[in-house]
Amino acid sequence: GAGVSQSPRYKVAKRGQDVALRCDPISGHVSLFWYQQALGQGPEFLTYFQNEAQLDKSGLPSDRFFAERPEGSVSTLKIQRTQQEDSAVYLCASSPQGVANYGYTFGSGTRLTVV
Amino acid sequence: GNSVTQMEGPVTLSEEAFLTINCTYTATGYPSLFWYVQYPGEGLQLLLKATKADDKGSNKGFEATYRKETTSFHLEKGSVQVSDSAVYFCALSQETSGSRLTFGEGTQLTVNP
């Protein structure tokens, strides 16, 4: 596609509910990243895929967070038993290569609100 | 670990004023440095980058020079426009930390006509 597409754009979840956030990267982009952006803060790294391989998940804040990219294209970030502190904008970015020098293309994000 | 520190905001300027947003970083070795811009309701967009010391990145009238001696990458523009109103993020990446970007907290810029 023309850009990185994320869905849903907004999600309201009750505390304890499971959510799934989707990212459609630019076609052919090898690298895919997830970031979490709290209100008024810069994005924080969550996890990184190169094709279908999850090469780095050190930024996932707890074992309630899980990400997958089974066919090396679309990725899903799943959050189980959501908590209020999970409220944030979740950003997805993709890149044709595995280095940041090319500059990633970011999606518009999914704003998650846990009530 | 790596970190990026931006000047505290928000910044409010009149149209055609000179802009400086300070950014300093902490990293070992030679990181690549970036400025990203986030317009309301949109995703982050790469504004400019520099990959080695003394490089100058430039785009849309914005400039930033990679200063290793002061570990800085300050963003400047000679004459801002109302359309430049956005949040600006300084960021770095380093091969030793994979391909991830480490961001500063962002600086909200408002330009008034």
| Mean pLDDT score of chain A | 93
Cross-chain Cβ contact A106/B34 below 8 Å: no
Cβ atoms within 10 Å, residue A110: 22
Between A40 and A23, name the one with better pLDDT: A23
**Has residue A1 got a pLDDT over 60?**
no
Q: Which of A45, A60, A105 to mutate to test the interface with B (most CBs of B within 10 A)?
A: A45
Per-residue pLDDT of A68-96, as tens digits, reads: 999 999 999 999 999 999 999 999 999 88
The verdict on whether omega for the bond into residue B10 sits within 30 degrees of 0, i.e. cis, is yes
Structure confidence at residue B86 (pLDDT): 96
Name the nearest CA neighbour of A4 among A40, A35, A41: A35
Residues of B in contact with A103 (CB under 8 A): 34, 46, 49
Cross-chain Cβ contact A56/B98 below 8 Å: yes
Between A113 and A2, name the one with better pLDDT: A113
Per-residue pLDDT of B71-82, as tens digits, reads: 999 999 999 999
Structure confidence at residue B97 (pLDDT): 65
Cross-chain Cβ contact B44/A48 below 8 Å: no
**Has residue B59 got a pLDDT over 60?**
yes
Cross-chain Cβ contact A42/B106 below 8 Å: yes
Residues of B in contact with A41 (CB under 8 A): 105-106
Burial letters B43-55, b for 16+ CB under 10 A, else e: bbebbbbbbeeee
Identify residue B33 by its one-letter amino acid code: L
